[in-house]
Structure 1
């Protein structure tokens, strides 16, 4: 195999891994609704599928458990990962999935703020402008003359908004964890995320009214869906980590927006949900802000190289990572 072809394939596989991961996230809402139809609440579905995913990661990557060290960041990461998972799952089950997802994707706004206060990163004009653009998209999508103030119009939409905020916080905490616990394997951070989602979802399930539980004829299908979703999400997470480790962050962020395309397509095919003009316009602003946020620091590799020459590196001789605004 000649060198150019080998380099092309070496780039194509990680890109395909990220695109496949985004596709899975864009379709997972449908089997979750199937679980709800079988009598499994959104909170219980979040707890059970996350628990299955955590167990799968711990079994497959059990040799990495020894890299875990106690730090206050781990329960904090677990908490916000739990809010993320529960908010998205509950919102996707009970709301219009595209509106929930777009509210979830307001991450440029929240990431800019959280990174400023937690990671002490300077809030640039570009970052502030992108945050304003994404928030303007949300206001455009949510505003209507009848409702007045542009705020989420249902509990499901509030859940999607809260999930997006928690997701941004989770990303910031993951970066801070990688700095504070550099010896901890990425798979164990995945296990913490799934474990936190399982515990938080399990606690929340006590406060949600349980519908008629699955009948004897449906219990087998419910168990199969729980295990299948947990396995797919855990495998998908590790697959995306493989891609993210080999694809530049700016390009990876663009590829991950493929999730919105898949969600829109599946919502139309399986749920008959067709966004209106305001949803399209507001969603376009949110997607544009998310896409442009990956280019704010497009000169970062060059800056890191210069920093390395000047000796501005961490104790291990490696430049410290930055949160993406």
Structure 2
């Protein structure tokens, strides 16, 4: 149960990702710069961690590719929440459990049962209720597209990390943060003169780097350590707790509404996650392609 608890904790922390990103925006770190500063700071401290503790950096191809895809997910998510409504980004990202289920079924030899459809439907319905039951998908913008891409990258990355066997969480974190930083810099370079590029300030860069140490690194370590031990769909469902923490943080800090509809949605999400977790730790339908 340890990876289950840690994944749930990391999900709660992911839900307040919008707070440092928006705060950095007030310091002039708009566009992709907020994510670059945070992920870059986390990458720097991850390098120091690996060097000082002499952690083994042995990663298989699956681990490297998986961590890189998670980095893509983190970077695109960070940019998406600066370009679209936070609630839209969260919901579109959390198509990830569906992508994970499809990956498990198509590539990992895990069966698709009626419970798979039920858990996906319950989690998505719960997300819709938590977000107020009033989310139009018309007029999708670049930010919305990035949110969907982020969820797909996360699902693929989690599957590769799980199939790649055990390795150092510090090494996976380093690869993830380096990739996330590189993708963010790519947004800045390719999006010169657009909302991608933004701008940087000395103070904002320093604050972002510190946030990388005290916030991003712990989240990454908890998430990637758990991703090695839990099936992709299981951890993706656990991470839907981010929706709950995101909404609750909005209620407390932004005075956003939370009533019976949101409470019912939260219950559906928890039930879907619990059902998937219990099935996952039960040891049924183990993947046939896992190495190591």
Common fold by TM > 0.5: yes
* Farther-moved stretch of structure 1 (32-41 vs 252-261): 252-261
CA 1:98–1:279: 2 relative to 1, 3 Å: farther
Does the 8 Å contact 2:39/2:177 carry over to 1? yes
The match for 2:158 is: 171
1:5 aligned partner:
none
Residue 228 of structure 1: aligned partner: 210
Q: How far apart, CA to CA, are the structure 2 residues paired with 1:112 and 1:91? A: 24
Quick one: distance in 2 between partners of 1:285 and 1:30?
A: 26
- Quote how far apart the aligned CAs of 1:220 are: 4.0
Q: Residues 237 and 171 from structure 1, CA distance in 2 versus in 1: closer, same or farther, beyond 3 angstroms?
A: same
Query: Could you list the runs of 5+ residues in structure 2 that have no partner in the other structure?
Result: none
Work out which of the residue numbers 257, 282, 285 in structure 2 matches 1:274.
257
Kept in 2: contact 1:42–1:93 (CA 8 A): yes
2:58 pairs, out of 67, 73, 86, with: 67
Q: Does residue 159 in structure 1 map to residue 146 in structure 2?
A: yes
Pairwise CA distance, 1:15: 8.2
Q: In the aligned structure 2, how far is the partner of 1:201 from the partner of 1:38?
A: 18
C-alpha displacement at 1:293, in angstroms? 1.9
Higher Rg = 1
Q: Does 1:80 align with 2:69?
A: yes
Shift of 1:59: 1.2
Match of 2:116 in 1: 127
Aligned-CA RMSD value: 4.1
| 1:303-322 alignment runs, 5 A limit | none
Aligned to 1:53: 42
Scaled by the length of structure 2, the TM-score of the pair is 0.75
Provide the C-alpha distance between the structure 1 equivalents of 2:164 and 2:228, rounded to a whole number of angstroms: 17
Alignment counterpart, residue 264 of structure 1, candidates 227, 240, 247: 247
Structure 1 window deviating more from structure 2 (202-211 vs 225-234): it is 202-211
Contact kept, 8 Å, 1:106 with 1:164, in 2: the verdict is: yes
Alpha-carbon contact 2:76-2:146 (below 8 Å) kept: yes
- Of stretches 116-125 and 13-22 in structure 1, the one that deviates more from structure 2 is 13-22
Any conservation in 2 of the 1:52–1:226 contact (CA below 8 Å)?
yes
Q: TM-score, normalised by structure 1?
A: 0.68
CA distance in 2, matches of 1:293, 1:82: 25
**Greater CA drift, 259-268 or 27-36:** 259-268
Against the structure 1 CA distance between its residues 152 and 225, is the aligned structure 2 distance closer, same or farther, given a 3 Å change threshold? farther
Say if 2:91 and 2:128, in contact at 8 Å, map to a contact too: no
- Count matched residues: 283
Measured after TM superposition, the shift of residue 196 of structure 1 is 1.4
Residue 29 of structure 2 corresponds to: 40
Deviation readout 1:44-100 (Å, 9 max, x if unpaired): 32233212212211211232244245x3x3553254223311232123233332342
Say whether the 8 Å CA contact 2:123–2:272 is kept in structure 1. Answer: yes
SS in 1 for 2:279: coil
Q: Does 1:100 align with 2:89?
A: yes
Structure 1 unaligned residues grouped into runs of 5+: 1-10, 308-312, 315-319
What is the alpha-carbon distance in structure 1 between the residues aligned to residue 93 and residue 153 of structure 2? 9
Aligned to 2:187: 204
